[in-house]
């Protein structure tokens, strides 16, 4: 999965959400390195109150643009909330008008909110589900028909989580949302398969991103105090506890490429074995 051959996505166009930083930026840069042009969106604005880490900014999205262009590829970036289906549709329309096609969708945008079960308010649950589930559905719906129209087939990659296979303690809403994304990938795979479109979900464990900023560590610690025996549920088999965004991009790029041409409806875990503990 981590093969470094260049040009595996030459001439293709990818649509990536949550592209301003972290995993989304890593996917954009890696695919540009492999020859793809990029349609990129990010909310780049304050997140719901239950989300304790610092939000991405327009400056972060501009840096993604710079890094993609550094590889000689084109990128059309815009500030869009994935809950805004019309905004996503417009971003894809503009991107396809500019680049002429769409081949790959990476539904990466999502939020995480550590809260003990009885601290979750109805608005918290709704916000996490709206972004992680409805936002992912909006993303696929914005681009799938464009891939079909191209007549070449394609690849859709939904970023779930280790929590979408096992669970993440102290995140009932997040766990529920990521299980929904896992099922959504399989369901889309079934219906889009006749168009030679593959749909898979990727399930990272801990990744070194800006989700660890702000009050995230304190919020997780507070939740863990309510039930300490659950704190080691995601223990990995390998020595590395936390990976880099580029490690996830290796798998996502493989799923986007022809090297995985018969892989669909699969759950690809990059969690050092933690979901099997």
Which residues are designated catalytic?
174
> Which residue in 155, 160, 206, 205 sits closest to 183, CA to CA?
160
- CA gap 222, 29 in Å, rounded: 35
Give φ, ψ of 204 to 5 degrees: -75, 150
Query: For the packed helices 22-33 and 245-256, what is the interaxial angle rounded to 10 degrees?
Result: 50
> Which residue in 82, 98, 92, 178 sits closest to 135, CA to CA?
82
- CA gap 94, 3 in Å, rounded: 32
- CA gap 147, 102 in Å, rounded: 5
Q: What is the CB neighbour count within 10 angstroms for residue 80?
A: 25
Take residue 235 and report the two structure tokens written for it.
């223990």
- Under 8 Å CB-to-CB from 211, ≥6 apart: which residues? 22, 53, 112
> How many angstroms separate the first and last alpha carbons of the chain?
23
Q: What is the CB neighbour count within 10 angstroms for residue 45?
A: 11
């Amino acid at each position: 999965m981590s093969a470094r051959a260049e040009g595996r996505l030459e001439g293709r166009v990818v649509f990536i959400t949550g592209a301003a930083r972290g995993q989304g930026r890593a996917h954009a840069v890696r695919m540009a390195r492999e020859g793809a042009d990029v349609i990129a969106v990010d909310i780049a604005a304050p997140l719901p109150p239950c989300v304790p880490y610092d939000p991405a900014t327009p400056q972060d999205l501009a840096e993604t643009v710079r890094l993609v262009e550094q590889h000689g590829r084109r990128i059309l970036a815009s500030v869009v909330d994935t809950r805004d289906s019309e905004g996503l549709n417009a971003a894809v329309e503009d991107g396809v008008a500019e680049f002429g096609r769409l081949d790959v969708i990476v539904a990466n945008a999502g939020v995480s909110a550590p809260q003990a079960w009885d601290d979750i308010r109805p608005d918290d649950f709704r916000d996490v589900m709206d972004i992680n589930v409805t936002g992912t559905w909006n993303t696929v719906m914005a681009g799938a028909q464009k891939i079909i129209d191209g007549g070449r087939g394609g690849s859709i990659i939904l970023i779930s989580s280790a929590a979408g296979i096992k669970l993440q303690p102290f995140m009932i809403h997040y766990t529920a949302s990521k299980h929904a994304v896992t099922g959504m990938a399989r369901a889309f795979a079934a219906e889009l398969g006749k168009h030679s479109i593959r749909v898979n979900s990727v399930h990272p464990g801990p990744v070194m991103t800006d989700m660890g900023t702000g009050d995230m560590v304190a919020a997780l610690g507070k939740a863990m105090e309510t039930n300490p025996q659950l704190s080691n549920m995601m223990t990995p088999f390998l020595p590395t506890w936390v990976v880099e965004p580029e490690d996830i991009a290796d798998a996502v790029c493989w799923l986007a490429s022809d090297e995985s041409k018969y892989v669909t409806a699969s759950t690809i875990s990059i969690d050092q074995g933690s979901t099997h503990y």
